[in-house]
Amino acid sequence: MSNPILSIEGVTAGYGRVTVLRDITLEAGRFGNVGLFGPNGHGKTTLLRVVSGLLKPQSGRVVFDGVDIAGESARSIVARGLIHVPQGNRLFPDLSIGDCMALGAFSPHARPHEEENREKVVKLFPKLAERWRQKVRTLSGGERQMVSIGTALMSHPRLLILDEPTLGLAPKIKDELCASVLEISRGGVPLIVVEQDIEFLLELSQQLYLIDHGAVSTEIKPGEKSLGHEEIMSMYFGH
């Protein structure tokens, strides 16, 4: 057991006058990977946006590696090695895969590791190596997701956040992607993952938080309780 690399302490946040997150407290990186789950629209993405500096919280602290980063710019948070892969492949369509990878390594802390990280990405996603000069707009959904995660790995993450990485993927591609995410985790990068596929989330995570109406309604730590698929579903939908 190690210290958490990230602690979210009493975070309240929202959009304009609408409050979405209410006094959220959780931690990541102490036991391994953290899985976040819960019904649609209950604030998971909003929480990730607060962590990565895309949304300023109304109150609370986001402590990454001992420093409160709440309200810091997204750019400086990336430079700390906290990397967020948002939902839905937000990539520049006219860049090639190679360009995306170079862009991922732009941050000063990532540049010295560019070559080693490129090798890791190519090993993890051999399909990308075959299409290195191909433009993003010509890629399939699965390939774009690989580019998104590959670009994040080029940023030399110390903590990697994935928002619904398997969303909308066909079963075979999804299986490939799940295997790659598990491989990333075995490589020692702690993950925070939002995912609707509970089986995958249970396989990947050592610690789980259920986000319900913008608050943590259940936390499951290793050894406390082991939840199966059916119990998780009943937490989701009620009895």
Q: Which residues here bind ligand ATP, judged by CB under 6 A?
A: 15, 18, 20, 38, 40-46
CA 202 to CA 200: how far, in whole Å?
A: 5
Task: Please state the closest distance from residue 87 (CB atom) to ligand ATP, in A.
Answer: 6
CA 162 to CA 194: how far, in whole Å?
A: 6
CA 123 to CA 72: how far, in whole Å?
A: 34
CB 143 within 8 A of CB 131: yes
Nearest residue (CB) to ligand ATP, 8 versus 100: 8
Residue with tokens 């953290």: 34
Strand partners, 168: none
Nearest residue (CB) to ligand ATP, 2 versus 40: 40
Q: Of the candidates 118, 168, 119, which has an alpha carbon nearest to the alpha carbon of residue 144?
A: 168
Task: Please state the closest distance from residue 137 (CB atom) to ligand ATP, in A.
Answer: 24
CA 178 to CA 201: how far, in whole Å?
A: 10
Give kind and range of the element (H or E) at residue 144. helix 141-154
Nearest residue (CB) to ligand ATP, 14 versus 32: 14
The CA dihedral of 110, 126, 146, 151, to the nearest 10 degrees, is 10
Nearest residue (CB) to ligand ATP, 141 versus 222: 141
Nearest residue (CB) to ligand ATP, 43 versus 104: 43
Task: Please state the closest distance from residue 216 (CB atom) to ligand ATP, in A.
Answer: 13
Task: Please state the closest distance from residue 16 (CB atom) to ligand ATP, in A.
Answer: 7
Task: Please state the closest distance from residue 62 (CB atom) to ligand ATP, in A.
Answer: 16
CB 27 within 8 A of CB 8: yes
**Buried b or exposed e, range 97-108, using 16+ CB within 10 angstroms:** bebbbeebbebe
3-class secondary structure, 9:
strand
Task: Please state the closest distance from residue 192 (CB atom) to ligand ATP, in A.
Answer: 13
Nearest residue (CB) to ligand ATP, 41 versus 71: 41
